[in-house]
A and B are shown apart, each in its own frame.
Chain A
Amino acid sequence: MDTEITLRVDGGTHPLTVDTRTTLLDALRERLRITSPKKGCDHGQCGACTVLLDGRRVNSCLVLAVTVDDAEVTTSDGLAEGDREHPLHRAFLDNDAFQCGYCTPGQVCSAAGVLAEARAGWPSTVTDDLTAADVDLTDDEIRDRMSGNLCRCAAYAHIVPAVAAVAEAEGVRR
């Protein structure tokens, strides 16, 4: 059943007619040719499709496009400012935090979400003191908070220090 929507993605505005069954991921990739979000499992289990929806990380494969025509979508592409990469992009390069790179845009968006959640003081399941005012993104914290992103090349040992480097620079890691 066709429905007219407007998607706002990475600063651009895109009027679209979509079948109501279209996910945000498919609308981005197949209709708008914005291909940094990747389709891995298509069931919310791998995180390759992670984007920021009004600044919050979500699995775009489980979001119907018709439900977000009033939201701002940011992909890994959109995190860059023009030609200047986002600090997370630079940290992933510096730490060699990928092999094939397929999961990387989702990892980067998820990490951006992790940093925002830590700045907001959100705890995780490995946080000892739930009432603590500040979050300290230890390696354990990063591992738990990034657990919604799988890397079949198993670059985890480099992803954790990449996220840690930016967390330290942003003051959410001691």
Chain B
Amino acid sequence: MREFRYERATDAASAVALLAAESDGAFLGGGTNLVDLMKLGVATPGVLVDVRRSTSTEVIDLPDGGLRIGAAVPNADLAADRRVRERFPVLSQALLAGASGQLRNRATTGGNLLQRTRCGYFTDVTRPCNKRAPGSGCGALEGVHRNHAILGQTLEGPGTCVATHPSDMAVALTALDAVIRVLGPDGERAVPMADLHRLPGEDPSRDTTLRHGELITAIDLPALGMPSRYRKVRDRASFAFALVSIAAAVRVTDGVVADARLALGGVAHKPWRASAAEEALRGRPATEESFAAAADAELAAATPLRDNGFKVPLARNLVVRTLLQLTEGTR
């Protein structure tokens, strides 16, 4: 591990000022991903600015029935929060489907959003990876890619990248239209969850649209007011990343889909908002046929790799099954 200086910031403004002054620094939250990447030589910050005491560890009520989640709230506490369990079950379920009890106790909400891909070529410094070492190539494209992306990849050129975003929580926050509150050297801004993460495009080294020195301070959840659910398919029942996951919320009125929010995990470089499926669902009868047509509308754009074509029917079936479960009794 490269040597680094350790700084502890007591508030968000001083954390931002400390990091903005460094060219190769990083914020440290729970460290469950960053410390691991430092051990592997994938992350090599010269300065760590510890922000676990710089942002809130509280979840507070917003006037519209929504919630504001402090960036330092541990994943375990957020999953167990009664208001989240009752009003946003999709978020509790997503958090509880991720990692282990030990990791959820230490990992923070802000840090969960900023975790890096678990692509085996990214985490092995002896392999080519355009995300870790731009221009070195993509080992996964023709290599081991059974659990890689099927949507929105960059399949040729210097930006080639087929990695997925690993977070379960972020998939739920995408379906919930969360707003990420960010403090930077130029002040505060609010980033819609859909705009926080990037597709690889020409530059897979950048996972997010955050600028140097910007710190996530809180996550706002607008009121939801409809049933929601998270489902995750993985190789084993617990403590494994998703092959495909889904966060869904749907409202049915008189047998017709009045509103639907869908996001998929394990399929792309970012949590994948299934806008085409949502569009195809609205105003349609809440039937298995409609749900299948919506899934097909979304997955028409899929470009699976040699060994991950199974994810396309898996995602389709997961969309249909989850919507059927969510609408049981209203159809």
Contact = CB atoms under 8 A, between A and B. Distances in A.
A23 B102 contact: no
Given A23-B35, A148-B239, A50 B3 contact: no
B35 A124 contact: no
A167 interface: no
A15 to B, nearest CB: 17
Contact of A67 (B1, B4, B31, B92): B31
B14 interface: no
Contact of A43 (B39, B80, B89, B239): B39
B19 interface: no
Given A1-B4, A43-B39, A62-B36, A67 B79 contact: no
Interface in B149-168: none
A27 B73 CA distance: 26
Interface stretch (A6-14, A76-84, A90-98, A112-120): A112-120
B102 A57 contact: yes
Given A64-B35, A67-B28, A114-B101, A122 B3 contact: no
Contact of B238 (A62, A67, A120, A147): A147
Interface string B156-196: 00000000000000000000000000000000000000000
B103 A148 contact: yes
A64 B76 contact: no
A58 B76 contact: no
A143 interface: yes
Contacts of B5: 1, 20
A1 B5 CA distance: 6
Given A42-B39, A131-B85, A21 B1 contact: yes
Contacts, number: 112
A147 B97 CA distance: 11
A21 B92 contact: no
A20 B8 CA distance: 12
Interface string B211-247: 0000000000000000000000000011100000000
Nearest to A143: B238
B93 interface: yes
B318 interface: no
Contacts of A20: 3-6, 48
Interface string B1-19: 1011110000000000000
A64 B52 CA distance: 13
Given A59-B103, A146-B101, 19 more contacts: A50-B102, A57-B101, A57-B102, A59-B106, A62-B32, A62-B103, A64-B31, A64-B35, A64-B48, A113-B101, A113-B102, A113-B105, A121-B80, A124-B96, A143-B238, A144-B237, A147-B238, A148-B100, A148-B239
26 contacts: A19-B3, A21-B4, A21-B38, A23-B35, A42-B39, A43-B36, A43-B39, A44-B103, A50-B102, A56-B106, A58-B102, A59-B102, A59-B103, A62-B36, A64-B48, A110-B101, A110-B102, A122-B80, A124-B96, A125-B96, A130-B92, A131-B85, A144-B237, A144-B238, A147-B239, A148-B102
Interface of B: 1, 3-6, 28, 31-32, 35-36, 38-39, 48, 50, 52, 76, 79-80, 82, 85-86, 89, 92-93, 96-97, 99-103, 105-106, 237-239
Of all A-B residue pairs in the complex, the 9 with the closest CB atoms, nearest first, are A148-B100, A147-B238, A125-B96, A147-B239, A122-B80, A130-B85, A20-B6, A56-B105, A58-B106
Interface of A: 1, 3, 19-21, 23, 42-44, 47, 50, 53, 56-59, 62-64, 66-67, 110, 113-114, 117, 120-125, 127, 130-131, 143-149
